[in-house]
Structure 1
Amino acid sequence: MKKIITITLAIILLASCNPTTLTFSFIYNDEGPNKEIATKMKELLESEFNVEIILVDGINTNANLDSLLLDKVDIALVENYVNYQDGLSSAFSVYSEVLHILYKSEVDGSSFASLMYGGPVYIGRVNSPTYNLMMDLWEYYGLDASQINVTFNMAEAGVVVELTNLFTKQHFQDYEGFNLFSFDDAKNLSEASSVQGITLKYPRLSPFIIPENSYWSFTEQSVVTLSVDLVMMVRSGMGEVAVNDFTKTMLRNRQIFTSIDPLLFGGMKEDFDQAKLNIPLHEGARIFLEREEPSFIERYAELGGVILSIIIALWSGILSLTKWQAQKKKDKIDEFYEDLMNIKNGISRLDTIAEGMKRVKRVQAAQNKAFEMLIAEKLIANDSFRIYMELSKETINELRGKMRILKAKQERTTS
């Protein structure tokens, strides 16, 4: 019996000394510092765990997400500017990518519209995050995309758009004779500013200020622009232990990544805003993040009783007024929802392109009216409003998809 126990322990010891190497594939778009970030993540994880990380140079954001959904890869660096899909999960926010719009001196940069119509305009590869973001901005500003001279050759562009990390002085050498476009004056940055309006309609975007003189002669004044978070995403079926270990290791060693770009210092934190994630957290990441974060009671134990008493005292006094105001504004947003759902439910019965265009304009007009009522404080910028804006955008995309199908049918009929 003693001999059997000894042999068993020896086998266990040998097995523990030679664990099976696990392989994970990691896809990214080779834009900005993404490749350097992915490479450092690979080196860190392989040094901490008995794993092999295979790096894959992706084609575009949509293709990368498809690879995750089809279980072809395990991990991806993807902008938090994609629609929710089953099978995808977030791990943590990496850093904020900044929208840079540069234009030659001879191009009219007095407004976003004049800038876009002044072309030729370079907005990156089709379906890249930059490309998708600009499509939404053109829609937001009501621009006619067919009148914008888009080029895929950066060298010939009068306007160049890049969604990336902070520029270095060497990077700016390629933009001699260019200026940086600012959406607004930094002094006017408030809930009524243009970038705040954009982020209400597209809540995954955030206002971003490039401070005065931070870009040398390019920022003699502060530049107001937009940013979107780059997120480490994983396939939902990836094991909780692996995601937990990877998330914990990378966030606790974030100093390794800050040399790549200053924005990573503020991005790779355990207390990042999870509410902004469009793809929900993987359970493995959630377990780590929630375990490390003290609860409200633990953080404010001594003040808990006082705070609770104040809340109860105030609540009874303001409950009726709050409910009345909320219900009044909810009734108004419900009218928008009802009209939108009628349009959405009728998409399958749509049989002409002209009717489709009419319904697209109807949804866009409703969006504009909702924003006017928001400014007039007849609606409130709550979750219902944001969901309505997302749903109306989704409906427009469905209508356009239906019109493309109808157009294809017409072409087959005529041919």
Structure 2
Amino acid sequence: MKKIFEFLIIAILVVSCNPTLTTFTFIYNDEGPNREIALRMEELLESSFYNVDIKLIEGKSTDANLDSLVSEQVDIALVENYVNYQPGLNSAFSVYSEVLHIFYREGIDGSSFESLMVSGPVYIGREESPTYNLMMDLFDFYGLDPSILEVTFEMDQADIVVELTNLFTLQKLVGYDGFNLFSFDQVERLGSASTVEGIALKYPRLSPFVIPQKAYWGYTQEPIVTLSVDLIMVVRSGLLEVTVNDFTKTMLRNRQVFTTIDPLLFDGLKEDFNQGILNIPLHEGARTFLDRDEPSFFERYAELGGVILSIVIAIFSGIVSLTKWQAQKKKDKIDEFYEDLMNIKNTIPKIVEIPSAMTQVKRIHAAQNKAFEMLIAEKLVANDSFRIYMELSKETINELRGKMRMLKAKRERTTS
């Protein structure tokens, strides 16, 4: 029994030291701070959950990333809330607002969006990218025919450069020396049916955004009125509710980890973000956290319970097998004692001298003592086989003593 308990303890230690590791694949486009955000998320999730491994993949394009989610090749992605909804996708939470920046070379007419777009080569991002799609909507809003514009996909060849990204650092702004930053309207008109409010009304995934005058050091002489769109964390719909709930809770409640990346993440990573603007519906796991409808104990630990049950069954089966093996091993041991005793019993008729009989009696006594020692050490069990052996050994000793009495009487008759 002691061995069984030792085996059980070892099995539990092995199980506790080797948890089931689950890998989640996280894809992102290396634009703006996305890579750093993904790295911070990877570190936070892996440090918060002992059985989680996050595998980061740099994507090629937003559409390709979404296709990977729909086909269940990846589990998590960072995408703009300017992508079209597809079955198999769900949102988890808003990360931060990407700001639309339209830079144009000095000397170009930037008095209006229409005059600006026809003033020279314009870079609007990669085809079918969120930046490209947003600009196509702006062309539609302003009634511009894209075919009459000089669109280029080479940023260094453009006189007008459009970037949908986070706030610029001073180092990055240096690359735009000789450029101005386009403003859609005067800041005083916000709240009074301004142009950006009209754009946001027609395209509700966009929001008005103001870059304050001093935010970009001396690069802007007045506040810049522009637009923004949320970057969101998207998951494949098949992810477990508990998994998405835990991931969402962990990242939103540890948003301080991300706020040093960019000031926009401070306001972006909030539990009370506007869920109504999401173009991709919330995953039920995220909704339960945001609505404080937490999973029950059984829902949360159902998968773990299944693993534990499997482990318990495996351990129980192992114990049963070990018990049977030990019982068979003990039976094999008592069989050795039986075999030795039968060999002695078979030699009794051939014994012709008293010392030989006495030697066999001592041999049986030694075997009895050894059997009792093994019984105490739990190498034998006190079952019917053991009791029968002890009775048979006593009977054999009596036969040997009877043989000795007969040999002694015979010797006395001979000497007389």
Instruction: Give TM class, smaller chain.
Output: 0.5 to 0.7
Tell me how far apart the structure 1 counterparts of residues 283 and 7 of structure 2 sit (CA, whole Å).
40
CA distance in 1, matches of 2:5, 2:185: 75
State the secondary structure of the residue aligned to 2:272. coil
Equivalent positions of 1:10-409 (< 5 A) are: 10-49=10-49, 50-291=51-292
Q: Deviations over 1:118-163 (max 9, x none)?
A: 1200111111111111011111111010111111111121000000
Q: Retained in 2: the 8 A contact 1:45–1:246?
A: yes
CA distance in structure 1 between the aligned counterparts of 2:25 and 2:67, rounded to whole angstroms: 14
Counterpart of 2:231 in 1: which secondary structure? Answer: strand
Which ranges in structure 2 are unaligned for 5 or more consecutive residues?
A: 295-416
- Provide the rounded CA distance (Å) in 1 between the counterparts of 2:169 and 2:90: 32
Q: Is the 8 A contact 1:191 1:197 kept in 2?
A: no
Name the TM-score, length of structure 1 as normaliser.
0.68
**Structure 2 CA distance for aligned equivalents of residues 219 and 63 of structure 1:** 36
1:280-333, Cα deviation, whole Å (9 max, x unpaired)? 11111111221189xxxxxxxxxxxxxxxxxxxxxxxxxxxxxxxxxxxxxxxx
- The count of aligned residue pairs is 293
**Which residue type is aligned with residue 74 of structure 1?**
D
CA deviation vs aligned residue, 1:20-64 (integer Å, no higher than 9, x gap): 211111111111111111111111111222222111111111111
Q: TM-score, normalised by structure 2?
A: 0.68
- Displacement of 1:113: 0.7
Counterpart CA distance in 1 for 2:242 and 2:2 is 35
DSSP 3-state at the match of 1:291:
coil
Letter in 2 for 1:41: M
SS in 2 for 1:91: strand
**How far apart, in 2, do the equivalents of 1:7 and 1:249 lie?**
38
The one-letter code matched in structure 2 to 1:225 is T
Amino acid at match of 1:18: N
Question: In structure 1, the residue corresponding to 2:273 is in which secondary structure?
Answer: coil
One-letter identity of the residue aligned with 1:114: S
Taking the aligned partners of 2:98 and 2:202, their CA distance within structure 1 comes to 19
Considering only CA atoms, is the larger Rg found in Structure 1 or Structure 2? 2
Tell whether the 8 Å contact from 1:212 to 1:219 is kept in structure 2 after alignment.
Answer: yes
SS of the residue 1:208 aligns to: strand
Displacement after TM superposition at 1:16 (Å):
2.7
Query: Secondary structure, in 3 states, of the residue corresponding to 1:35?
Result: helix
Per-residue deviation, 1:6: 7.1
Pairwise CA distance, 1:7: 4.9
> Share of identical aligned residues, percent?
69
AA in 2 matched with 1:77: L
Residues in 2 aligned to 1:114 and 1:209: alpha-carbon distance in whole angstroms: 22
Taking a change above 3 Å as real, the CA distance of residues 139 and 2 of structure 1, as seen in their structure-2 partners, is: farther
How far, CA to CA, are the matches of 2:103 and 2:184 in structure 1?
12
One-letter amino acid of the structure 2 residue matched with residue 142 of structure 1: G
**Aligned partners of 1:292, 1:265: CA distance in 2, in Å?**
25
1:12 offset after TM fit, Å?
4.0
* 1:10 positional shift: 4.9
Shift of 1:261: 0.2
| 2:306 corresponding residue in structure 1 | none
| Pairwise CA RMSD | 1.8
- How big is the shift at 1:217? 2.2
